[in-house]
């Protein structure tokens, strides 16, 4: 079944809040590094949320997290935290390789979970997380914020209205001219699962797949190249001094996904690409029309004339923190009222299957089946 647009009401950040009646959702964090602060900033502005604990294996991160957000309890073990604090919900903000275990443990402990993107390291882990949520009867959301972006919502409404007909081809680009992360473990494949494809390509794939109506992926072809990140460099860049000695991920990945309905999605993702400037966009062709994400435009035929239409206003400038407030508000509402999740675990599994397919194809040197 095709997914529907969440509508403009989800983009009105203040208006999306349910009436506060005094009850608070007690949220704990597992992983208190960089992205956790974006989550915490969003949740801290919600009167029906209380951040009750933080977990991290690095004491310095816990200290900063407590000082910034006034968190009362700190732990180095999420198992101990779950037992002693008994939170209502957990935000998992760990590296990719540590998404599955704390998510499953939290669900088994009776907690709702928001897990950052990508959902896990492979589809098998995603399936175990979904099974745990179903068994516990709890909400499992995946941190996909770009489906809430006004550009995505505008195009989704147009697609749902039949403006484009059947989407035949989708081109997704998440390209940095030079943007190798110089923090965290983004360059270590065994902890992240990959490089730009799984780190930033995941967002473009997810919002494009959502826009397309979430067709079933059946096959993938892809390739990856590492030619810069694993070597020392003197090039002046915004993020210098990454750890090239431990860099085992790709610099550039290209993927080709085939869907059950015959549609094709092409994805390009890079930390290092010799291009004019960074690109963050998708464009598409349908049987009745096409379009692009940035700037939001549609291309159709009208009155026997080829017409290009530029959106005049799609909902205002929504920055990165605002998108987090929207996605976390949706999760909090689902936890507290049972309202629908816009990005449930099943959406994360579908994206993971595509990511996994590209990497498996690159390793095998041929097209692979996505089951």
* Mode of pairing for the β-strands spanning 252-259 and 264-270: antiparallel
- Where are the CATH 3.30.360.10 domain residues in the chain? 166-286+351-369
CA distance 26 to 48: 9
pLDDT (mean) for 295-301: 97
* Mode of pairing for the β-strands spanning 289-292 and 297-302: antiparallel
In sequence order, which residues have a C-beta less than 8 Å from that of residue 279 and are 6 or more positions away?
173, 174, 175
134, 180, 335 from 138: Cα distances, Å: 7, 36, 8
CB 197 within 8 A of CB 217: no
51, 106, 122, 144, 163 from 72: Cα distances, Å: 8, 19, 34, 28, 52
Give pLDDT tens digits for 186-222: 999 999 999 999 999 999 999 999 999 999 999 999 9
CA distance 68 to 63: 9
Give the pLDDT band of residue 22 (cuts 50, 70, 90): low
17, 85, 129, 150, 277 from 27: Cα distances, Å: 17, 10, 19, 28, 39
Check residue 11 and give its pLDDT: 39
- Where are the CATH 3.40.50.720 domain residues in the chain? 8-146+322-340
CA distance 317 to 25: 29
Q: What is the pTM of this model?
A: 0.93
Find the largest Cα–Cα distance for the chain.
Answer: 68
Give pLDDT tens digits for 247-292: 999 999 999 999 999 999 999 999 999 999 999 999 999 999 999 9
DSSP secondary-structure letter at 9?
Answer: G
DSSP string covering 118-187, please? S--SSHHHHHHHHHHHHHHT--EEEE--GGGSHHHHHHHHHHHTTSS-SEEEEEEEEE-SB----STTTT
The structure tokens listed for 46 are: 């919600």
Check residue 147 and give its pLDDT: 96
- Distance, CA of 241 to chain centre: 26
Check residue 164 and give its pLDDT: 98
Q: In what order do the strands lie in the sheet with 279-286?
A: 305-310, 297-302, 289-292, 279-286, 167-175, 264-270, 252-259, 217-225, 368-369
108, 139, 140 from 338: Cα distances, Å: 18, 8, 12
Res 14 pLDDT > 50: no
DSSP string covering 241-273, please? ---GGG--S-SEEEEEEEETTS-EEEEEEESB-
DSSP string covering 265-294, please? EEEEEESB--SSS-EEEEEEEESSEEEETT
Check residue 10 and give its pLDDT: 42
DSSP secondary-structure letter at 10?
Answer: G
Check residue 333 and give its pLDDT: 97
Helices (H), 7-119: 34-44, 59-69, 78-85, 100-108
The structure tokens listed for 30 are: 């597992």
Res 15 pLDDT > 70: no
Res 5 pLDDT > 70: no
Give the pLDDT band of residue 7 (cuts 50, 70, 90): very low
CA distance 12 to 316: 10
Of all residues in the chain, what percent carry a pLDDT higher than 90?
A: 92
Give pLDDT tens digits for 109-136: 999 999 999 999 999 999 999 999 999 9
Give pLDDT tens digits for 146-159: 999 999 999 999 99
CATH 1.10.599.10 assigned to domain 8-146+322-340? The reply is no
CATH assignment of 166-286+351-369, among 3.40.50.12780, 3.10.450.50, 1.10.150.20, 3.30.360.10:
3.30.360.10
CB 129 within 8 A of CB 346: no
Q: Is the peptide bond before 11 cis (omega within 30 degrees of 0)?
A: no
């Amino acid at each position: 079944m095709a997914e529907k647009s969440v509508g403009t009401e989800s983009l009105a950040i203040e208006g999306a809040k349910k009436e506060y009646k005094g009850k608070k959702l007690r949220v704990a964090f597992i992983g208190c590094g960089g992205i956790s602060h974006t989550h915490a900033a969003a949740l801290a502005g919600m009167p029906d949320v209380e951040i009750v604990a933080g977990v991290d294996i690095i004491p310095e991160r816990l200290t900063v997290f407590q000082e910034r957000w006034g968190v009362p309890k700190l732990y180095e073990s999420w198992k101990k935290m779950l037992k002693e604090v008994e939170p209502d919900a957990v935000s998992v903000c760990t590296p990719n390789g540590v998404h599955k275990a704390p998510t499953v443990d939290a669900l088994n402990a009776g907690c709702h979970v928001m897990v950052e993107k990508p959902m896990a390291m492979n589809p098998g882990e995603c399936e175990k997380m979904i099974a745990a949520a179903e068994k516990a009867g709890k909400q499992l959301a995946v941190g996909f914020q770009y489906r809430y972006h006004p550009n995505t919502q505008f195009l989704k409404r147009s697609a749902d209205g039949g403006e484009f007909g059947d989407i035949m081809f989708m081109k997704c680009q998440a390209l940095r001219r030079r943007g190798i992360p110089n923090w965290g473990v983004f360059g270590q494949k065994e902890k992240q699962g990959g490089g730009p494809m799984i780190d930033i390509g995941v967002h473009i794939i997810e919002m494009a797949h959502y826009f397309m109506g979430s067709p079933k992926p059946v096959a993938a072809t892809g390739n990856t190249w590492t030619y810069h990140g694993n070597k020392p460099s003197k090039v002046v860049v915004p993020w210098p001094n990454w750890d090239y000695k431990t860099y085992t991920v790709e610099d550039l990945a290209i993927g080709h996904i085939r869907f059950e309905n015959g549609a094709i999605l092409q994805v390009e993702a890079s930390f290092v690409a010799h291009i004019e400037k960074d690109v963050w966009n998708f464009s598409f062709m349908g049987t009745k029309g096409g379009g692009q994400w940035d700037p939001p435009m549609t291309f159709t035929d009208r009155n026997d004339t080829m017409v290009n239409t530029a959106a005049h206003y799609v909902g205002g400038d929504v920055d990165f923190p605002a998108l987090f407030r929207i996605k976390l508000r949706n999760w909090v509402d689902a936890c507290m009222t049972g309202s629908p999740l816009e990005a449930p675990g099943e959406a994360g599994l579908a994206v993971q299957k595509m990511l996994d397919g590209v990497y498996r194809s690159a390793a095998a040197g041929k097209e692979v089946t996505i089951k």
